[in-house]
Amino acid sequence: MRSKGSTILFSTHRMEQVEKLCDAICLVDQGRSVLEGTMRAVKSRYARDRVVVEYDGDASFLTDPSITELREFPGRAEFKLRNGADGQALLASAARHARIFKFEMVEPSLEEIFIRTVGGRTNA
């Protein structure tokens, strides 16, 4: 139906499904639209402040003060950068300490955007 130009309305609380299936969204909180637009336009309003890094070697770069909300795994870390932090400077620091296989600055998930937008309120 979509390929034939039909508009399909899809209502769900499962944001991961929305990210996979929808071109545009209208986020409703307590009966009012609080965020709308194409998926790309909505996500572009938020900083890429999440980082996924895969490495081998010294993990001391993970003590950098620009890092918050750190989750460590063997050879992998996921964290959030503080507001205004320079991801490129952190990458350079990481490369001085360890062999870096992946350093990805990730856009927030739609779930994170939802929580930021409605302030963590739920009606469930």
Closest CA to 40 of 61, 55, 58, 25: 25
Residue 112: which H helix or E strand, with range? helix 110-118
The model's confidence at residue 13, banded by pLDDT at 50, 70 and 90, is confident
Structural class in CATH, domain 50-106? alpha beta
Angstrom distance (rounded) from CA 14 to CA 16: 6
Domain(s) of CATH 3.30.70.100: residues in the chain: 50-106
- Note whether 59 and 97 are within 8 A (CB): yes
Give residue-wise pLDDT tens across range 111-123. Answer: 888 888 888 555 5
pLDDT tens digits for 30-71? 889 999 999 889 988 888 889 999 999 999 999 999 999 999
The reply to whether the predicted model has a pTM over 0.85 is no
pLDDT confidence of residue 79: 95
